[in-house]
Amino acid sequence: MWKGRFAQETSALVQRYGESVSFDWRLFAHDIAGSIAHSKGLLKAGILTAEEQQKIESGLLEIRHEIEKGNFEFKESLEDVHMNIESELTKRIGPAGAKLHTARSRNDQIATDVRLYCRSTIDSIIKHTRAMQAALIECAERGSDAVMPGYTHLQRGQPVFFAHHLLAYVEMLDRDAARLADCRKRLNVMPLGSGALAGSTIIIDREFVAQQLGFDGVTQNSMDAVSDRDFVAELLFTISLQGVHLSRLSEDVILWASAEFGFVTLSDAHTTGSSLMPQKKNPDVAELTRGKSARLIGNLMSILTLLKGLPMTYNRDLQEDKEPLFDSIDTVSIALEVFTEMICGMDVNRAKTLAAASDPMLLATDLADYLVNHGVPFRQAHEVIGKLVAYSIEQKRGFGEMKLDEFQKFSSAFEADVTACLNLETAMVARKGIGAPSPQNVKAQLARWRAALNA
């Protein structure tokens, strides 16, 4: 493609070092779509005849079909997916194929292809995200009556419903989906027509071409357009944060599935055994997902480090944006799919969660609230209940085993109705503020999310 300037062939070692077709081949459908749209722009500008444009389009569609069937040979010597397709097209249809690259550069071509690729994969990741939300809701509905401890510092804090805990991750995933949609909106502008860095004296109707490709508009600065990879960094950040959310859920599942907790049972289909210990049932899906989140974060760091020292405009370093991008997309996609399957097969062990939630200390905050409702300032109430907890531990008796006069040793505000707030069921019903885990609230949230996802 640059033989006019160079008198010597590119070294075979340089070709091997610089090729990208071994990984950017996956952009073929987007490259062909961009080329077809560009050919229509060239037709509109009078550079191509209708017959030439039709030859180009038919030839490109034929090549796409062959690639999809696995019958197309990509050549390392042609460097990348773009030159492989263009070279084969010209070989098949002759001079018309050689006209296709008029008024464009590989710089704006690849920038367009990657945006198209990211746009389609975002749609796919959002779909996987919604499927996982639906799986969490289905699991929450199956275990909607299960009460468990909520934890801070991995210490028992207050009672919550198992469903309420799962709904926390539904909220996280919804923010992930919103960030993906927002990222999609920002990347959906077309750089094609920016040329290598300064456009072209051959004027193409860029808005027309953008409309052909479903872009919302066109970029406004040709130098920024060919060098911008903000959208890649933003997508990788969004994916890495989603990976962090999956990792946090993984940690919960790993703990819950352990013998020490025993809160959930995972299906045999989503666990593995030990090569030595026959009794083992390991939560490998959750552990792998927790581990793969590190790769997602690493890929984000790679892109940010890659971009930080680049001058305007296109630099060959930008070839290194694709492998981290492809890897993160593949990784988060399969993680969402397999986690969705695992959650669908996960059952809550109500007896275990109830036993843990029946720890009387979980209602210590309810006792403090009781005192507040009887006129005691909260800080004073907090101190009173702290002393009561110490007394309970010393006496080796729970709050429910104490008599009224024992409570009144710590505060005269305690009355005979104090025992009412020590009932777990009553305590759950009382948590009816917006966002709190009362039975009514959890039921309403499950219905809300079910309706939202169905819509």
How many percent of the chain have pLDDT more than 90? 96
Distance CA 205, CA 203 (A): 7
Q: Which two tokens stand for residue 5?
A: 């300037």
Using alpha carbons, select from 75, 81, 77 the residue that is nearest to residue 11: 77
pTM, two decimal places: 0.95
The sign one gets for the Cα dihedral 218, 223, 229, 231 is negative
Q: Kindly list the domain boundaries of the chain, sorted by start residue.
A: 12-102, 107-199+216-355, 358-454
For position 3, what pLDDT does the model report? Answer: 62
Q: At 355, which amino acid appears?
A: A
Band the pLDDT of 395: cuts 50, 70, 90. Answer: very high
CATH number attached to the domain at 12-102: 1.10.275.10
Band the pLDDT of 5: cuts 50, 70, 90. Answer: confident
CATH number attached to the domain at 358-454: 1.10.40.30
Q: Which two tokens stand for residue 109?
A: 């071509």
Average pLDDT (362-375) is: 96
Q: At 12, which amino acid appears?
A: A
Distance CA 261, CA 254 (A): 10
Strand bridging mode 189-190 / 217-218: parallel
Residue 311 C-beta-side C-alpha neighbours within 13 Å: 0
Is residue 8 helix, strand or coil? Answer: coil
- CB atoms closer than 10 angstroms to residue 430: 15
- Homologous superfamily, domain 107-199+216-355: Fumarase/aspartase (Central domain) (1.20.200.10)
* Catalytic residue numbers, as ranges: 153, 274
Q: At 37, which amino acid appears?
A: A
Average pLDDT (404-427) is: 94
User: Is the pLDDT assigned to residue 7 strictly greater than 80?
Assistant: no
